[in-house]
Amino acid sequence: MNSIMNFEKTRAWIKSRLSEERYLHSLGTEQTAKELAQRFGVDEEKAAFAGLIHDNAKNISYEDMLRIIKENNFDMEEDVKTNQKILHAYLGSYLAKKDLNINEPEILDAIKYHTTGRVNMNTLEKIIFLADKIEANTRDIDFRCEVLNILNESNSLDKAVLHCVERTIKSLLDRKLHINSITIDVWNYYLNRVH
């Protein structure tokens, strides 16, 4: 856990890997994750760190992602492997372990599932999932306000997660894009939990 104690070194590592906008997004996710962690009783340092490094593989080309996966014999579902937007999260979890020596499953899973979420997420995973979608530096301010209003009215991470998944599904449908099976499972799971 030494890397967690050294945010300055980790910020430099992240900055060297990402575009300026993606780096700003990572700093925003770090801050939002810390705020949500404080509110929902999760270790703030752990949440902030996961938020900071969640997108560490985002600027790796799809071809390089596939090469790294092949070289390291990843066992992964085909609809994850063929979706670059999801794949970066799985690869980011692997690189956090490999390059930063993060061995805490809770942090690695929060990184891995920050894009799609998953059924039965723990509180840290929900926080990173939401922080990624609503951080203030680069995300849509109206959507951020919608999600924060849901949290303020209901104090329910599950309702906020469901709202984000609903927006994702609507956006994918509007653009006639593939909806990953994980997203559908997450929708069904959290729909049942909040209704």
CATH of the domain at 50: 1.10.3210.10
Q: List, in sequence order, the alpha helices (H) in 41-156.
A: 44-53, 62-71, 78-81, 84-100, 105-112, 123-134, 141-154
Write down the pLDDT at residue 111: 98
**What domain count does the chain have?**
1
Residue 22 — pLDDT band, cuts 50, 70, 90?
A: very high
Write down the pLDDT at residue 41: 97
Token digits of residue 15: 């900055």
**Would you report the helix, strand and coil content of the chain in percent, each value rounded to 5?**
75, 0, 25
Mean pLDDT of 143-167: 98
pTM of the model: 0.95
Write down the pLDDT at residue 5: 59
pLDDT over 90 at 74, yes or no = no
Write down the pLDDT at residue 2: 45
Domain of residue 49: give its range: 2-194
Mean pLDDT rounded to a whole number for the chain: 94
The C-alpha angle with vertex 127 and arms to 184 and 26, in degrees rounded to 5, equals 100
Longest pairwise C-alpha distance within the chain: 47
